Structure 1
Amino acid sequence: MNQEDNPTRDHYTTLEVAGLLGMAVRSVQLMVDREELEAWKTPGGHRRISRASVERWIASRRPASAQGDRNFGDAPRPHTQHGGTRLLLIEDSTHFQNLVSMLVRQHFPSVELRVADDGIAGLAIYGQFQPDILIVDILLPGIDGPTLITSLRSHPQFARSQLIVITSLDESQRAPYAFALKGVRVIHKPRLVAELPGLLSQLLPESAPAQKTSL
């Protein structure tokens, strides 16, 4: 059997890592250049990336709540019949991380929530977590938010997820990003408390919101 077809080999191609992490090939190449991933070149000039370094990178970028719950390379967990909905939030503000988490716990206690504080970590978690709903801020550190959103909408890997964009930008400030936001559900952050539970209820018709209490 060709070594490149061996699932137990200790390295990946750049394209394989891009697929695993849900990134562009160029992004993976930049990670190698920054020495975030260990790589070498074959005699033919093809780049090979250490599997162990990819595993370490993913483990280091997961939220603490996700550490140790799965091994890299495991198949995605099947949904349970009760309370199996998954939601991933990619948001760099601790305040809004806490606010969204509180709203989800309060109104949809059976939903499993993961949080990432930057786009690259969020994409890595996405590949492992396979969420039903993805909530993402359009302005994130270390990644072009509009390009990320455009990629999410067009990449087959993300087709299974419902996308919600949250932003501190008002309607006029969002104008430069209209190309990325066309047809996307957008919530202005000052309206999160008022609008997010209702929108999630529409996307999760099988999940009746809990009785609303004072925040």
Structure 2
Amino acid sequence: MTAIARPPEELQEDFSTREVAQRLGMAVRSVQLMVDRGELQAWRTPGGHRRILRSSLDAWLTGRGLAPTKGGDAPAPVETSRKLRALLIEDSVHYQNLVALLIAQQFPELELHTANDGIGGLVMYGQLQPDVLLVDILLPGIDGAALVTSLRSQPLFAHCELIFITALDADQRQPYAFALADLPVIHKPRLVTDLPPMLTAAIQRVSTTTSA
């Protein structure tokens, strides 16, 4: 972490690690790791406490299509729409484009958002509260199985339909059985064939829950 000198009058323009964690819906340790990796810029107070630059946090949020911080408040919530939202967490640009094409052609009622890694996906999930979550099992930053296990502990997840996508075959998926149990899984070679019916079923369940 690069040390950055900040005058006292500017202290309120930056955030503590805990404040950022609360704003992003993440663990404090996850935010500390983001600082260590250089994803967020921070400096230390004379007492040794980290302060994360507001400009750095805003740039990180904006780079993921999220609203930046506003004044002393938490990042502004994404504007709510009755259009169903789908969040794809996938690091492969090829499969990002393939899923986007399938949804644009066959599911115009879905508004698709994409995250490139697990940490960004966690933040976007909290911001967007999607109706459908499409997540790869293997992701940079945090693997999809651990991500979903984390999300399942949150009340907001109860209203989200989940679909796993993976390049792993059935045998290779065995170490992730704890997270995949009773959940739909699409093998990437069958994405074009299997995604549409699974999305159709997920949308029907969401619509039924919403109208109940």
TM-score, normalised on structure 2? 0.77
Q: Which residue, out of 18, 21, 24, partners 2:24?
A: 21
Give yes or no for contact 1:20–1:127 (8 Å, CA) kept in 2.
Answer: no
Q: Which residue, out of 32, 48, 59, partners 2:35?
A: 32
2:61 alignment partner in structure 1: 58
1:194 alignment partner in structure 2: 193
2:81 alignment partner in structure 1: 79
Distance 2:13 2:176 in 1: 41
Give yes or no for contact 1:138–1:149 (8 Å, CA) kept in 2.
Answer: no
1:168 alignment partner in structure 2: 167
Task: State the shift of 1:138 in Å.
Answer: 0.4
- Tell me how many residue pairs correspond in the alignment: 190
Give yes or no for contact 1:76–1:130 (8 Å, CA) kept in 2.
Answer: no
Question: Partner amino acid for 2:95?
Answer: F
1:212 alignment partner in structure 2: none
Task: State the shift of 1:89 in Å.
Answer: 0.7
TM-score, normalised on structure 1? 0.76
Task: State the shift of 1:48 in Å.
Answer: 3.1
Give yes or no for contact 2:14–2:54 (8 Å, CA) kept in 1.
Answer: yes
Give yes or no for contact 2:90–2:135 (8 Å, CA) kept in 1.
Answer: yes
Q: Deviations over 1:1-25 (max 9, x none)?
A: xxxxxxxx42333233223334332
CA RMSD of aligned residues (A): 2.4
Write out aligned runs for 1:51-200 (5 A): 51-60=54-63, 62=64, 66=65, 70-72=67-69, 73-80=75-82, 84-200=83-199
Q: Deviations over 1:42-79 (max 9, x none)?
A: 5555433232221112223x2xxx47xx4442223222
Distance 1:117 1:23 in 2: 17
Give yes or no for contact 2:129–2:156 (8 Å, CA) kept in 1.
Answer: no
Give yes or no for contact 2:137–2:166 (8 Å, CA) kept in 1.
Answer: yes
Uncovered stretches (5+) of structure 2, i.e. residues with no partner: 1-11, 70-74, 208-212
Task: State the shift of 1:112 in Å.
Answer: 0.8
Could you say if the C-alpha distance between residues 16 and 89 of structure 1 is closer, same or farther in structure 2, counting changes exceeding 3 Å? same
Task: State the shift of 1:151 in Å.
Answer: 0.8
Could you say if the C-alpha distance between residues 25 and 156 of structure 1 is closer, same or farther in structure 2, counting changes exceeding 3 Å? farther
Distance 1:157 1:99 in 2: 28
Higher relative contact order (CA 8 A, sep 6+): 1
Q: Deviations over 1:168-187 (max 9, x none)?
A: 11111100111121232211
Uncovered stretches (5+) of structure 1, i.e. residues with no partner: 1-8, 208-215
Task: State the shift of 1:94 in Å.
Answer: 2.0
Question: Partner amino acid for 1:29?
Answer: Q
Identity between Structure 1 and Structure 2 (%): 58
Distance 2:108 2:98 in 1: 14
Could you say if the C-alpha distance between residues 19 and 161 of structure 1 is closer, same or farther in structure 2, counting changes exceeding 3 Å? farther
